[in-house]
Amino acid sequence: MTALPLVLALATLLPVGPRQDEGPSPERVDATVSALEAAYKEGDSAAQIAAIREAVEVVDKRVIDLVAKGLDGKDREVAFAACDALGRMRHPESLKKLDSFYGKEKRNLGKDEDGLVAVLKSVGRLGDPKGIDILIDSPFKSKGYPVIQARFYGLANIRDAKAVDAIFGLLDKVGNNQLDRYMGDIRLALLQLTGEDRGEDPRQWQAWWRENKKGYEVSPEPKKLPDDLRSRWNAYWGIVEKQEG
């Protein structure tokens, strides 16, 4: 994968797919499958990207299988679009496809910061605890700031105590000489997950976790973040809040 600012910028406008229990109609699934198959057969990258983006709201295994087909092609723009779309299709198959792709491309992704960020962000967006292993895998093999940020924010989007523990595991591995660079993101990640705020002093956070780790449970819904941090969080995930009134 290569840097594709335009595709990634457009991707932030994509909706997150419907909840799995709602389910698209069989007719809509069939139509989406047909559109994807036609786009791949045509071979035009713009048509494939458009079909993939349209498929985001049709969360079904058959559709996900075809969206994931875009990951394995030679067109990097299509691969980016497919990766982003899978992160918005909340279904167990989406994570399986991203996990499989990551496993096959791990060595290449280690040399491709943009590609690695795209995968990590999509995994984190799904909010599935089964994605934690990807987010913490070889965490500092690629030390670019966007990669590390994607790991912390991805974990922060998984509302499970294992994600909290994983953040502290990464914190311990960063090293004191690098913590200043990341503590703003670590604070935001932990505040989003726990509702607690110990500022940007890692020792305060570590002491809090030692006292609370045993039996800790993450609330199903996050507390409202302070305005400045909420803006950062929303900007990262492309969240547009509804205006009151």
Specify whether the CB–CB gap between 11 and 236 falls below 8 A: no
Burial class (CB in 10 A: 0-12, 13-18, 19+), 192: buried
Predicted local confidence at residue 177, as pLDDT? 72
pLDDT digits (tens, 9 = 90+) for 179-201: 888 999 999 999 999 999 999 99
Mean pLDDT of the residues in the chain:
91
At 141 the pLDDT is: 84
Tokens of 58: 């049709």
pLDDT at residue number 60: 98
Q: Which of these ranges, 16-25, 86-95, 202-211, has the smallest mean pLDDT?
A: 16-25
- pLDDT beyond 90 at 165: yes
Q: Is the pLDDT of residue 172 over 90?
A: no
- Pick the residue with more confidence: 122 or 21? 122
- Cα distance between residue 132 and residue 196, in whole Å: 21
Greater confidence (22 vs 193) lies with 193
pTM of this structure: 0.89
Would you say how long the chain is, in residues? 245
Q: 11-20, 49-58, 205-214, 226-235: which range is least confident on average?
A: 11-20
User: What's the confidence (pLDDT) of residue 245?
Assistant: 54
Q: Which residue do the tokens 């995968």 mark?
A: 119
Per the model's pLDDT, the better-predicted residue between 210 and 174 turns out to be 210
Per-residue confidence at 21, pLDDT binned at 50, 70, 90?
A: low
Amino acid at 73: G
- pLDDT of 4 higher than 70: no
- Domain residues of the chain, as ranges? 1-110, 127-239
- Does 13 have pLDDT greater than 50? no
pLDDT band at 178 (very low <50, low <70, confident <90, very high): confident
Query: What are the residues whose beta carbons fall under 8 Å from the beta carbon of 231, sequence distance 6 or more?
Result: none
Query: ∠ CA 57-7-116 to the nearest 5 degrees?
Result: 90
pLDDT value at position 221?
96
